[in-house]
A and B are shown apart, each in its own frame.
Chain A
C-alpha cells in the first residue's frame, strides 16, 4: 500500500522560508519510473503543481515559482523535501505530496496516481 505524509509548519511569517517534508512508504525512489511531486491548493481555489523529483535525480519546477522552489530527496529515509523561499500570504494553501509514476503508453507518460492527505500552511505575520 502506497502512502505519503506531509509534515511542516502550520504557520509561517512573510519573507521566511517554508520547508515541507514528505515521508512515504510502499515504493522506493530508487525504482526506475518512480517520482514524487508537490501540489498545492489555496483555500477555495484550484490545484497548482509545484515541483517533481525523479528516481534518477531529475528535477522539474513550476516555471512561475522556479526561483523560489527547491526539491530534494533522501532515499535512505524515503523522504522528499520541498523548500520555498520568501513566502507571501498568497502562498497560504494546503500542500500535497504525491507519487508520480512513469508508464509507457506510446511514449513515457508521467501522472500522479496517489496523493497524501495534505498539510495546511498559513502565511501570516
Chain B
C-alpha cells in the first residue's frame, strides 16, 4: 500500500517535546520528508531523507524512522510551531504520496 497515515491532531504544552508520527508500508523502503504548513501559506520543508534538516530550519526539529513509521520530533515547542504537518514519501512506481496531515496545537 502507498498510503501514509497520520494522527489528525496533536497538542503540546509550550516548551515541551512532541512527536508526530507517520505510518505506511512504503516507509520500510523509502525515505520520508516532512512539511510544515501554516494557515494560508504554502508548505515548507522541515525534514528530508528521514532525518536531515534543510538550512534555516531550527535544530529543535528532528526526524527519525523505524520499520513502517517515520517521526517528526519538535523539542521545546514554540507558539510559532503551531501548524499542520505533512509527511511524504514515494510508492513503488516512483510517485510521491502525502499523509493526511497532523494539526499541531501548542497550548
Give the distance in Å from the alpha carbon of A114 to the alpha carbon of B43 in the complex: 9
Given contacts A109-B49, A116-B42, contact A62 B101 (CB under 8 A): no
Check: B23 CB closer than 8 A to any chain A CB. Answer: no
Report B-chain residues with C-beta under 8 Å of the C-beta of A27: none
CB within 8 Å for A47 and B49 given contacts A112-B33, A115-B42: no
| Interchain CB contact (< 8 A) of A49 among B31, B37, B44, B96 | B96
Tell me if B94 and A49 are in contact (CB < 8 A): no
- Report the minimal beta-carbon distance from A16 to chain B, rounded to whole angstroms: 26
Q: For chain A, which range describes its interface: under 10, 10 to 19, 20 to 34, or 35 or more residues?
A: 20 to 34
Judged by a CB distance under 8 angstroms, whether B83 is at the interface is no
Contact residues of B with A, CB < 8 Å?
30-31, 33, 35, 37, 42-45, 48-49, 52, 54, 86, 88, 90, 93-101
Given A46-B86, A112-B35, A116-B42, 18 further pairs, Cβ under 8 A? A46-B99, A47-B88, A48-B98, A49-B96, A52-B95, A60-B93, A60-B95, A103-B48, A103-B49, A105-B31, A105-B49, A109-B48, A110-B90, A111-B48, A113-B45, A113-B48, A114-B45, A115-B42
